[in-house]
Amino acid sequence: MNETTITAEPGTPFLDIVREFEATPAQVFRAWTDPELIPQWLGPAGTSMDLVEYNATDGGRYHYIHHDESGDFVFRGVFHAVVPNERIVQTFQFDGWPTEVSLETLTFEDLGGRTRVRTHSVFLSVAARDAMVESGMERGVLDSMSRLDKILAEGS
């Protein structure tokens, strides 16, 4: 089983996530950018998603809402660079913290039929990064990666 690592070095505004998948970069990239697939894997288990907008192209936007028994959680951002099967640069914003926007760079590394995805997030401050970590984002990341594994195994 592939392990997800989440690293938040003390005193830095960075968050790094690394995960390997048993699929090619093209397959993983498609799952990461196809609006038909996004609601099937993105977010914590036990939530549903309304995908308001998802246009994974240079200058495109995304906007989605997760729902669970405790309420609605709205996320949005802009895709700044999308290089198929290689890289995505995007902003990430949670409407609950409207002044905190992070910049994320995702890379899709070819491991010969497998793929390593690295996400490097830059926050405006160490405090903002720490607040994100303390918000329980780890559960959402781990659940999402597990759900994405299943989508890729099904060949969607």
Q: Which domains does the chain have, with CATH numbers?
A: 5-154 (3.30.530.20)
DSSP state of 6: E
The three-state secondary structure class of 154 is helix
For residue 103, give both structure tokens. 């910049």
For residue 81, give both structure tokens. 């660079």
- Local confidence pLDDT in tens for the 156 residues of the chain: 689 999 999 999 999 999 999 999 999 999 999 999 999 999 999 999 999 999 999 999 999 999 999 999 999 999 999 999 999 999 999 988 878 899 999 999 999 999 999 999 999 999 999 999 998 899 999 999 999 999 999 985
Kindly report the pTM of this predicted structure.
Answer: 0.94
